[in-house]
């Protein structure tokens, strides 16, 4: 399941999105995520979907890579939908056992599923088209203003890029440890949930010890190569905005404006208020 | 003053219990005097736990001595204002290749050191390309380090250190996790660096074979230097080396046993070729 999550995985190819400055893509992603939460009406969602499809086409990343990210959170999506269906009060549509299901609940659940799917695909577009190093560089620069609030932006970006670098190594190590324990008769697959969690202990403990050892070694290696935090540090590829970035920002502004206008004026369009004919509150 | 000099260097690891009380003290390095000339290739030999890695960490100012002094290119390693200069003068390559690669792309990793030195972007490019060419890693420039073999990863680690233009590189068991082929390849590459780029090399290992061609060998046991000198002089002490847990090369071991059996051979034979030569000489002499 760890392998299914596309977040944090880079797809190496060349495209309009790949060439964009990471800052542009980060701000773009944030704007896109915000627009998803602004309104709940079909026009806005159709438009957001069109924009997403356009971006996917512009990324040259096969669509199945984005879907892979969805599989990992399918469980969360289903849970969210169920909770919404059963807990949002309103006009009862039908009963499941003694639980009433409200129209409004179904409506929120449907939107939730689209919202979460767009959210995951949208943010995996960022990580699929941006190498981790550029991504953390971009995060560091985008949020550099937070340094005035004493937020250690550089350190956090460095921690992220190291975490990303060590994910494949730790996954491989987990596999090795699991196989070692399996070969000695460990059983990870049968028994109750609690038993299975307990049986993972012999994997987690060596993994943790190994991770601490790695952290120690890496800290020494970084020290030895004159790392001293962000102070006096320069970059081989400093981030620079190019023509495409300005075009992308213009597109982003247009997109946001379109979403807001659709959100405000959708009520004058057919079905603008709602799929199920229930007015948005 | 020699390029690297330690005087009566001692270092103690202090073990504490949960309340912070001292539980025990391990003297990992104990009264080590070392002097390394610029441009030389020296080996430090020792079994596990002999203190050789602790010694190495001092040469890079990663540890500070409990007693004694260490100077690198005239700089005292305890002088906090000099620690960056010391680290760019004496680079370090560690044992586990995975644990010392910081970047997710080969090129980015090599750039890590120069970036920390605050060089301009143009200069960093020049140095990165230079050290990738020197280590023969240019073909992997845009690859992920996880796609490399163990030997290539160590080459990458060396490239990362070379990009800081060090005068000296300390290899702390840099070949211990490689297969025999990778080991031989890295060692011969490092020798070439030493000969052609005149980079001082401190080669720390527990494989005696790797120390054969050094200018000088220091043998460590429980924190002390117990033997030092030219390789053939040191290697002729077969009994002592075996006692402190080192595996003596087969040729050396064999010639030692032959001498004990009364075959008139010279002491300190290091490889099969010279053993064969010695045997022929002995045979001719006896006729």
- Closest-CA distance, A234 to chain B, in angstroms, reads 5
B-chain residue closest to A230, CA distance: B116
Which pLDDT belongs to residue A7?
46
- A-chain residues near B118 (CB < 8 A): 232-234
Tell me phi and psi for residue A267, to 5 degrees.
-65, -20
- Does position A2 have pLDDT exceeding 80, yes or no? no
> With contact defined as beta carbons under 8 Å apart, do B281 and B267 qualify?
no
Helix B180-197 and helix B150-162, axial crossing angle in degrees, nearest 10: 20
Please report which confidence band the pLDDT of residue B65 belongs to, taking 50, 70 and 90 as the band edges.
very high
Which CATH number goes with the domain that contains B95?
A: 3.40.50.300
Least-confidence region, from A79-93, A167-181, B60-74, B162-176: A79-93
Distance CA B207, CA B203 (A): 11
A93 interfaces chain B, CB cutoff of 8 Å: no
Please report which confidence band the pLDDT of residue A272 belongs to, taking 50, 70 and 90 as the band edges.
low
Please list the alpha-helical segments (H only) found in chain A.
16-19, 22-38, 42-59, 63-87, 103-129, 132-142, 153-183, 193-199, 201-224, 243-265
B-chain residue closest to A224, CA distance: B87
**B287 inside domain:** no
With 0-12 / 13-18 / 19 or more C-beta atoms within 10 angstroms meaning exposed / middle / buried, residue A258 is middle
With 0-12 / 13-18 / 19 or more C-beta atoms within 10 angstroms meaning exposed / middle / buried, residue A186 is middle
Distance CA A276, CA A106 (A): 9
- Closest-CA distance, B228 to chain A, in angstroms, reads 27
Residue A35: CA atoms inside 13 Å, Cβ hemisphere, count?
A: 30
A-chain residue closest to B163, CA distance: A225
**B256 inside domain:** no
- With an 8 Å Cβ cutoff, are A221 and B88 in contact? no
- Closest-CA distance, B243 to chain A, in angstroms, reads 30
Helix B106-116 and helix B150-162, axial crossing angle in degrees, nearest 10: 30
- Does position A33 have pLDDT exceeding 80, yes or no? yes
- With an 8 Å Cβ cutoff, are B94 and A217 in contact? yes
pLDDT tens sequence across A121-149: 998 888 889 887 788 889 989 998 998 99
A240 interfaces chain B, CB cutoff of 8 Å: no
Question: What Cα–Cα distance (Å) separates residue B74 from each residue in A160, B69, B90?
Answer: 38, 11, 12
> With contact defined as beta carbons under 8 Å apart, do B58 and B6 qualify?
yes
For chain A, first and last CA: distance in Å? Answer: 38
A170-184 burial code (b ≥16 CB/10 A, e <16)? eeebbeebbeebeee
Supply the DSSP symbol for B207: B
The interface predicted TM-score (ipTM) is 0.86
- A-chain residues near B107 (CB < 8 A): 236
A-chain residue closest to B90, CA distance: A224
- Closest-CA distance, B32 to chain A, in angstroms, reads 22
Q: What is the mean pLDDT of chain A?
A: 85
Distance of CA A151 to the CA centre of its chain: 22
For residue B200, what are the domain limits?
A: 4-248
Distance CA A56, CA A116 (A): 17
B-chain residue closest to A172, CA distance: B146
Closest CB to B117: pick one of A132, A133, A226: A226
Domain-wise residue ranges, chain A: 1-130+241-281, 148-238
B176 interfaces chain A, CB cutoff of 8 Å: no
- With an 8 Å Cβ cutoff, are B116 and A228 in contact? yes
- With an 8 Å Cβ cutoff, are A234 and B88 in contact? no
A-chain residue closest to B123, CA distance: A236
- B-chain residues near A226 (CB < 8 A): 84, 87-88, 113, 116-117, 164
Q: To the nearest whole percent, how much of chain B has pLDDT over 70?
A: 100
B178 interfaces chain A, CB cutoff of 8 Å: no
- Does position A279 have pLDDT exceeding 70, yes or no? no
Please list the alpha-helical segments (H only) found in chain B.
52-59, 83-89, 106-116, 121-134, 150-162, 180-197, 231-235, 238-243, 250-260, 272-286
- Does position A276 have pLDDT exceeding 60, yes or no? no
Mutation site for B-interface testing, chosen from A158, A218, A224 by largest number of B Cβ within 10 Å: A224
pLDDT tens sequence across A152-176: 999 998 888 888 788 878 888 999 9
> With contact defined as beta carbons under 8 Å apart, do B110 and B155 qualify?
no
**B267 inside domain:** no
- Does position B218 have pLDDT exceeding 60, yes or no? yes
Which pLDDT belongs to residue A4?
45
Helices and strands in chain B, H and E counts: 10, 10
3-state secondary structure of B220: strand
Please report which confidence band the pLDDT of residue A277 belongs to, taking 50, 70 and 90 as the band edges.
very low
Sign of CA dihedral B79, B83, B89, B94: positive
Q: To the nearest whole percent, how much of chain A has pLDDT over 70?
A: 93
> With contact defined as beta carbons under 8 Å apart, do A44 and A262 qualify?
yes
Q: What's the structural domain count of chain B?
A: 1
> With contact defined as beta carbons under 8 Å apart, do B3 and B168 qualify?
yes
């Amino acid at each position: 399941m760890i392998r299914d999550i596309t977040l944090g995985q880079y797809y190496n190819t060349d495209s309009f999105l790949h060439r964009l400055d990471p800052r542009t893509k980060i701000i773009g992603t944030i704007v896109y995520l915000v627009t998803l939460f602004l309104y709940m009406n079909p026009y806005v969602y159709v438009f957001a979907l069109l924009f997403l499809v356009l971006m996917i086409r512009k990324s040259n990343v096969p669509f199945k890579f984005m879907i892979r990210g969805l599989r990992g959170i399918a469980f969360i999506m289903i849970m969210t939908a169920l909770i919404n269906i059963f807990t949002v009060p309103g006009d009862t549509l039908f009963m499941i056992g003694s639980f009433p299901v409200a129209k409004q609940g179904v409506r929120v659940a449907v939107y939730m599923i689209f919202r979460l799917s767009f959210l995951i695909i949208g943010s995996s577009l960022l990580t699929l088209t941006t190498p981790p190093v550029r991504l953390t560089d971009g995060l560091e620069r985008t949020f550099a203003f937070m340094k005035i609030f004493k937020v250690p932006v550089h350190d956090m970006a460095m921690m992220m890029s190291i975490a990303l670098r060590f994910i494949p190594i730790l996954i491989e190590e987990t596999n090795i440890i699991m196989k070692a324990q399996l070969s000695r008769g460990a059983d990870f697959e049968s028994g109750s949930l609690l038993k299975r969690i307990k049986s993972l202990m012999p994997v987690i403990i060596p993994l943790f010890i190994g991770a601490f050892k790695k952290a120690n070694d890496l800290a020494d290696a970084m020290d030895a190569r004159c790392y001293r935090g962000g102070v006096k540090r320069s970059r081989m590829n400093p981030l620079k905005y190019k023509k495409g970035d300005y075009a992308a920002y213009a597109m982003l502004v247009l997109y946001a404006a379109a979403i807001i206008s659709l959100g405000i004026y959708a009520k004058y369009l057919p079905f603008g208020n709602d799929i199920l004919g229930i007015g948005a509150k | 003053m020699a390029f690297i000099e330690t005087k009566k260097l001692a270092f103690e690891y202090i073990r504490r219990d949960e309340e912070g009380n001292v539980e025990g003290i391990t003297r990992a390095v104990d009264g080590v005097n070392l002097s390394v000339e610029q441009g030389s290739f020296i080996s430090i030999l020792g079994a596990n736990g002999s203190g050789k890695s602790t010694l190495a960490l001092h040469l890079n100012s990663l540890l500070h001595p409990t007693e004694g002094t260490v100077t690198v290119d005239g700089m005292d390693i305890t002088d906090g204002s000099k620690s960056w200069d010391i680290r760019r003068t004496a680079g370090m390559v560690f044992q586990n290749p995975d644990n010392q690669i910081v970047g997710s792309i080969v090129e980015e990793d090599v750039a890590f050191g120069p970036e920390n030195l605050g060089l301009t972007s143009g200069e960093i490019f020049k140095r990165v390309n230079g050290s990738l060419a020197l280590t023969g890693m240019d073909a992997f420039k845009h690859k992920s380090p996880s796609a490399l073999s163990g030997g290539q990863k160590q080459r990458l680690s060396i490239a990362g250190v070379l990009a800081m233009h060090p005068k000296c590189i300390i290899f702390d068991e840099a070949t211990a996790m490689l297969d025999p082929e990778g080991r031989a390849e890295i060692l011969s590459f490092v020798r070439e660096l030493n000969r052609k780029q005149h980079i001082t090399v401190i080669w720390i290992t527990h494989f005696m074979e790797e120390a054969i061609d050094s200018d000088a060998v220091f043998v460590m046991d429980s924190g002390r230097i117990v033997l030092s000198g030219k390789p053939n002089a040191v290697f002729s002490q077969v009994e002592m080396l075996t006692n402190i847990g080192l595996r003596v090369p087969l040729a050396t071991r064999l010639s030692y046993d032959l001498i004990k059996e009364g075959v008139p051979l010279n002491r300190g034979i290091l490889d099969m070729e010279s053993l064969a030569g010695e045997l022929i000489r002995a045979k001719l002499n006896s006729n």
